[in-house]
């Protein structure tokens, strides 16, 4: 069974305050992208002897990622077996990564959601999507969003998901330097962070809403290159808007037209900033099983 796990961007992210449980109250508009990881989830064949260690097998094309409980896809399978289907036959997960990790694009969370959906289908839809959302929230704040299958406003710590209509197809260029930004660190620094002079943090208005990200303030304080990258993008003629996605380290550029050739912009960015991962993609509906 093949599943696609889309990346996401945060087109707006407001941090409303710290909660008693240590998380932060947020309100964010998240939209899935055409960029996606690919997972194949099925029974192991031949099936090994039933044991805790043999119950889940995960292989990944990226050797830098863990293939055990440190991987969210693996943990999703563990939690599903523990709470929903302890009788489930041993499963095999093959993960083809295309979404960079530590990028603010939700790759690990999306993989986890895809595993929950796939295993529930293999278990003949044993539980409702609402029950899956409870398991997803245990895995991480972004995981419930990827069960919704489209754009959504997420509140609470991110686990309260309200699907919304988002008819705009946004042409994007994603740009990521060769370092991650730890999400817990970014939230921890948010309260005491200060804006950098000359950096444009104010909301950027579009027909569909506003682009703004409260985590830019702490992230830009430490990672000046990301502030410079956003400012540079906003000065480029092809770019209608630019924003840090989530806690980064990806900065997204919204192009003025769908037909814009994004290659010259990517080439100029790499000449200006050196080693960058860049990708042309668009906002898109989540793909479901092939």
Give the catalytic positions in this structure: 8, 142
Residue of 33, 103, 150, 127 whose CA lies nearest to 250:
103
d(CA 259, CA 262): 9
Distance CA 150, CA 243 (A): 20
**Does residue 46 have a cis peptide bond before it, meaning omega lies within 30 degrees of 0?**
yes
Contact yes or no for 102/67 (Cβ under 8 A): no
Q: Which residue has the tokens 């906003």?
A: 234
- The sign of the CA dihedral 159, 137, 106, 199 is positive
Spell out a b/e string for 172-194, using b for 16 or more CB atoms within 10 Å of the CB, else e.
bbbbbbeebbebeebbeebeebe
Q: Which residues contact 63 (CB under 8 A, 6 or more apart)?
A: none
Helix, strand, or coil (residue 21): coil
Q: Which are the contacts of 2, defined by CB distance < 8 A and separation ≥ 6?
A: 38, 39, 40, 289, 290
Q: What is the DSSP letter of 65?
A: S
Q: How far apart are CA 76 and CA 253, in angstroms?
A: 32
- Among 229, 231, 254, residue whose Cα is nearest residue 178: 229
């Amino acid at each position: 069974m093949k599943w696609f796990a889309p990346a996401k961007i945060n087109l707006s992210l407001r941090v409303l305050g710290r909660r008693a449980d240590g998380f932060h109250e947020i309100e964010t508009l998240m939209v899935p992208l055409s960029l996606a990881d690919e997972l194949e989830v099925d029974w192991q064949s031949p099936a090994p002897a039933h044991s805790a260690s043999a119950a889940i097998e995960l292989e990944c094309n990226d050797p830098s990622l863990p293939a055990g409980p440190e991987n969210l896809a693996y943990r999703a399978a563990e939690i599903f077996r523990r709470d929903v289907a302890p009788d489930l036959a041993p499963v095999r997960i093959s993960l083809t990564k295309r979404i960079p990790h530590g990028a603010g694009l939700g790759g690990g969370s999306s993989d986890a959601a895809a595993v929950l959906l796939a295993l529930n289908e293999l278990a003949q839809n044993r539980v409702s999507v609402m029950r899956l959302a409870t398991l997803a929230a245990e895995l991480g704040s972004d995981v419930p969003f990827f069960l919704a299958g489209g754009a959504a406003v997420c509140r609470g710590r991110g686990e309260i998901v309200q699907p919304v209509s988002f008819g705009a197809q946004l042409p994007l260029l994603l740009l990521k330097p060769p370092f991650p930004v730890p999400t817990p660190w970014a939230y921890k620094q948010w309260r005491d962070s200060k804006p950098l002079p000359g950096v444009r943090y104010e909301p950027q208005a579009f027909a569909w809403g506003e682009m703004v990200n409260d985590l830019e303030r702490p992230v830009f304080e430490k990672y000046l290159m990301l502030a410079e990258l956003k400012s540079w993008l906003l000065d480029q003629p092809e770019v209608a808007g630019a924003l840090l996605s989530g806690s980064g380290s990806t900065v997204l550029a919204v192009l003025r037209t769908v037909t814009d050739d994004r290659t010259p912009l990517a080439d100029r960015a790499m000449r200006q900033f050196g080693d960058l991962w860049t990708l042309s993609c668009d906002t898109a509906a989540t793909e479901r099983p092939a």
